[in-house]
């Protein structure tokens, strides 16, 4: 709970979560024991905009 994951290619997993859950998600990944590399990056403005524009209008606040 608190994150989304999707397979990217054959050997990569992309995980998206909010800042407050990063440590818990990393703990879960590291407990699996088979991660060769982990990259952590912040979403850029285009990704944030796209995320909110694809949400149902009920979740968007009025200006």
| pTM greater than 0.95 (yes/no) | no
Nearest one of 44, 58, 60, 19 to 2, comparing CA atoms = 19
Domain boundaries of the chain, sorted by first residue: 3-59
Cβ neighbours for 22, distance < 8 A, ≥ 6 positions apart: 40
pLDDT tens for each residue of 17-52: 888 888 998 898 889 888 888 888 888 899 888 878
């Amino acid at each position: 709970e608190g994150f989304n994951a999707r397979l990217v290619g054959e050997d990569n997993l992309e995980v998206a979560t909010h800042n407050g859950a990063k440590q818990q998600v990393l703990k879960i990944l590291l407990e699996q024991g088979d991660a060769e590399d982990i990259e952590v990056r912040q979403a850029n403005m285009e990704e944030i905009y796209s995320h909110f524009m694809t949400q149902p209008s009920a979740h968007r606040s009025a200006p």
